[in-house]
Amino acid sequence: MSKEKPKTTISVIKADIGSLAGHHIVHPDCIAAASRILAEAKAKGIVVDYYVTNVGDDLQLIITHRRGVDDAKIHETAWNAFQEAARVSKELGLYAAGQDLLSDAFSGNVRGLGPGVAEMEFVERPAEPIVVFMADKTEPGAFNLPMFKIFADPFNTAGLIIDPRLHGGFKFEIYDVFEGKAVIMNAPEEIYDILALIGTPSRYIIKRIYRKSDDEIAAVVSTERLSLIAGRYVGKDDPVAVVRAQSGFPAVGEVLEPFAFPHLVAGWMRGSHHGPLMPVGLRHAKCTRFDGPPRVVALGFQIKNARLVGPADLFDDPAFDETRRLAQTIADYIRRHGPFMPHRLGPEEMEYTTLPSVLEKLKDRFVEVGPKAVAPKVKTTMLTHEKKEETTE
């Protein structure tokens, strides 16, 4: 009789259910409320293990189980945990209570209802180290740059050159979140084409990464874009990601290394500004200054028989002090631009804007002063908090 090894699923599901003192931190009572629901699900054997935390105003459920990705029971459990936490949030009068819960009706899957989801299923290796990344005040495309560096840049990941198990490279599944399409591309063969897409992180987002030699899943990112789901502004879609490390995957240190560069991401104040992504430990995962700067936390776990061993708070380390200092210097510098681009996002990416109403007010005061410029032949997409308008000029 052949013994098939059981598969383990890790589901990281997050939502902003309201927060204390603006968009700042999740209240401990909300974390307790969500934890109670997960404890019940554990007692019933639906989930094997869980860890509940927050990064800024986002409530994070890290769940391990045997039920595979997109499982109705797991999603229902997460949904109930968010509902319960949102109920407490409303009782306490927290800010933007229930922010990310766009619907009252759950129908088998949290996708499209507001929460962000990163899930992967695999047969555990004898030792299974994973890193869970959770960011606040930014968008899923913020992980494009670090994911590319981890899995395709030999100047970041020594293993791509010197470890025969990584030397064949990785496959990137990239979403076009505007068109609702996905494409699979190979690294290193197609890295210029990959970069041509993912350098526009508001639209082309790395969703999954697989090891090319055996199609083993290596990483997954949440790609929900609330603005596109809801058709109106409901907050930035603060993302999560899961990365497997060591023994045929990049080492943990290679997985963390890209975050030593505090790259500019979209988000920050009102979801409408560029700012540096600051790697922090959990105790500093709170966005204060201009509601930022955007933060990212990395929790390391070992998974054993679907149990979560850990976490290790990986950015809570003086090795990232200089990164944080540089991020703060960049934050000071870019803040001085105030309402000017490129600090403020371009009109097509702002989560809300008064531009249409200002133009409407001024339409009779604009006078002709010269020939019209030829409009560029590119497709532009204008997102306002009311609706998505597409124009091709």
| Residues belonging to the active site | 16, 233, 236
- The 10 Å CB-count burial string (b at 16+, else e) for 245-259 is bbebbbbbebbbbbb
Whole-number minimum distance, CB 239 to ligand 13P, in Å?
Answer: 11
| Residue 247 engages ligand 13P in binding (rule: CB under 6 A) | yes
347: how many CB neighbours lie within 10 A of its CB?
14
| Residue 236 engages ligand 13P in binding (rule: CB under 6 A) | yes
CA–CA distances in Å: residue 280 to residues 147, 192, 379: 18, 31, 38
Binding site for Mg ion (CB under 5 A): 16, 23, 57-58, 96, 136, 238
The residue with tokens 């590319």 is 148
276-315 binders of ligand 13P (CB under 6 A): 291
- Name which of 138 and 323 has its Cβ closer to ligand 13P: 138
User: What is the spatial distance between Cα 276 and Cα 281, in angstroms, rounded to a whole number?
Assistant: 16
Contacting range for ligand 13P; rule: CB under 6 A; set: 1-9, 27-35, 265-273, 303-311: 265-273
| Residue 16 engages ligand 13P in binding (rule: CB under 6 A) | yes
User: What is the spatial distance between Cα 167 and Cα 219, in angstroms, rounded to a whole number?
Assistant: 17
β pairing state of 307-313 and 295-304: antiparallel
118: how many CB neighbours lie within 10 A of its CB?
29
| Residue 251 engages ligand 13P in binding (rule: CB under 6 A) | yes
291, interface contact from ligand 13P, Mg ion, none, CB < 5-8 Å by kind: ligand 13P
Whole-number minimum distance, CB 361 to Mg ion, in Å?
Answer: 30
28, interface contact from Mg ion, ligand 13P, none, CB < 5-8 Å by kind: none
SS3 328: helix
Q: Kindly state the number of chain residues that form the binding site for ligand 13P, as judged by CB under 6 A.
A: 18
Tell me which residue has its CB nearest to ligand 13P. 246
The residue with tokens 């002063």 is 369
- Name which of 14 and 208 has its Cβ closer to ligand 13P: 14
Whats the size of the chain, residue-wise? 393
103-142 binders of ligand 13P (CB under 6 A): 136-137
Residues 6+ apart with CB under 8 A from 164: none
Whole-number minimum distance, CB 135 to ligand 13P, in Å?
Answer: 10
Contacting range for ligand 13P; rule: CB under 6 A; set: 86-94, 112-120, 269-277, 307-315: 269-277
231: left (phi over 0), alpha (psi -120 to 50) or beta: left
User: What is the spatial distance between Cα 235 and Cα 16, in angstroms, rounded to a whole number?
Assistant: 9
Phi, psi (rounded to 5 degrees) for 243? -130, 130
In this chain, which of 269, 280, 297, 334 binds ligand 13P, going by CB under 6 A? 269
| Nearest Cα residue to 7 out of 119, 124, 120 | 124
60-99 binders of ligand 13P (CB under 6 A): 99
Triad 274, 279, 285: Cα angle to 5°: 90
Whole-number minimum distance, CB 18 to Mg ion, in Å?
Answer: 7
Whole-number minimum distance, CB 53 to ligand 13P, in Å?
Answer: 15
| Residue 270 engages ligand 13P in binding (rule: CB under 6 A) | yes
- Name which of 253 and 356 has its Cβ closer to ligand 13P: 253
- Name which of 77 and 89 has its Cβ closer to Mg ion: 89
| Residue 211 engages ligand 13P in binding (rule: CB under 6 A) | no
150: how many CB neighbours lie within 10 A of its CB?
28
The residues binding ligand 13P (CB under 6 A) are 16, 23, 56-57, 99, 136-137, 235-236, 238, 246-247, 251, 253, 269-271, 291
